[in-house]
Copies of this chain bind each other. A is one copy, B any other.
Amino acid sequence: MDRKVKIVQYGCGKMSVYLMRYAMEKGGELVAAFDANPGVIGRDIGEIIGTAPLGIKVTDAAKADEVLKQTKPDVCIIATRSTMAELKEAFALCAKNGVNAISTCEEALFPWNSSPDITRELDELAKAGGCTLCGSGYPDLFWGTMVTNLAGSSVSITKIKGSSSYNVEDYGIALAKGHGAGLTIEEFHREIGNYNSLSSDEIKELVIKGAYIPSYMWNQNGWLCSRLGLTILSQTQKCVPHTYQSDLHSSTLDMTIKAGDATGMSAIVTTETAEGITLETECIGKVYAPDEYDKNEWTLFGEPETTVIVNRPATVELTCGTIVNRIPQLIDSPPGYITTDKMPDNAYMARPMHEYVKSR
């Protein structure tokens, strides 16, 4: 592409601080920003990312349709909430305007196995609009391409075991609530752990009805199996609360979590495949105690056994870096809802991002 990539930011919260700065640093041109929060609407984006005013003010998301038609951006970065049901409207708006969209929404990484109806609908809208929709972020690389790339050195894999933890405090309220942070153990089991005893078939029924709320690894295992060409036989999920021995303050929740209440959870997803490979993946999201830090560790069992560890990953920066680096591939993908397992692996951009875009 022989001009700057035009980018719109949809959702101007914690992630947008990095997303907007990175998009500009990598040579993109920010043309608009949307939010629904009255406290954010009208603020200059420079103020949000901590620079001098940049002359672009956050517009009310209610006017997004109008602004997209006016500005005709190449890409919309959506960082609002965590489920496809919550994302549907923003994705649909982009699709109808022929604007490629990429989201930090965790379910969006591989929504085919948790919200198939919404995903199919968006896929059709995107095809009609001639643009691509996808989800990306930290999981795309650190639970995704890093693992499948490593698998490229394995001769036979019997099991893929992954474990990743992150601090609920680094993210917004949607993530904290999704992890049951601040709930009593009883509330946790009622609100979050209520699928724990469901069989694979029972969950499948809920998924078809559009009534299933997946943990991040639910979608991740779908992504991994799709990328590795594995046929899923069954998939189940267990959510287990984490607690801490003393009270912990959460600024995201604006409350103190009492000792013994849920600081967050482990969600463990187990997938069995026709190829004999078991996936057992766990994500741990909680309000950290002072001595805790982010971890990401994956082991491929089989011949040979290989473990890779990412030490204290800067989860937030890596999420936003991965999203911005996906932009050229997003633009170059065929129209539709295209999950990133169907794209080439992420790549570092040593030059301005438009030089990596092949289309137009």
Interface residues of A (CB under 8 A from B): 22, 25-26, 138, 141-142, 145-146, 148-157, 228-230, 275, 277, 303-314, 317-318, 320-322, 324-325, 344-348, 350-351
Contact = CB atoms under 8 A, between A and B. Distances in A.
Contacts of A306: 310, 313-314, 318
Most B CB contacts (10 A, CB to CB) among A154, A325, A350 go to A350
A235 to B, nearest CB: 17
A303 B275 contact: no
B314 A152 contact: no
A140 to B, nearest CB: 9
Contact of A345 (B26, B149, B305, B310): B149
Give how many copies assemble into the complex.
2
Contacts of A321: 153-155, 303-304
A190 B321 CA distance: 47
Nearest to A26: B155
A304 B308 contact: no
B350 A228 contact: yes
Contacts of A149: 141, 145-146, 149, 345-346
Contacts of A347: 148, 151-152
B322 A304 contact: no
Contact of A310 (B307, B346, B350): B307
Contacts of A156: 25
A25 B155 CA distance: 8
A165 to B, nearest CB: 16
A23 to B, nearest CB: 10
A152 B308 contact: no
Contacts of A153: 138, 141-142, 318, 321-322, 325, 346
B152 A351 contact: no
A153 B145 CA distance: 11
A212 to B, nearest CB: 27
B152 A145 contact: yes
Contacts of A152: 141, 145, 322, 325, 345-348
Contact of A304 (B229, B317, B345, B350): B317
A350 B22 contact: no
A228 to B, nearest CB: 6
A230 B350 contact: yes
B350 A155 contact: no
Nearest to A325: B152
Given A148-B348, A152-B325, A229-B351, 14 more contacts: A22-B155, A25-B156, A141-B152, A145-B149, A151-B347, A155-B317, A155-B324, A275-B350, A277-B350, A304-B317, A306-B310, A306-B313, A307-B312, A309-B310
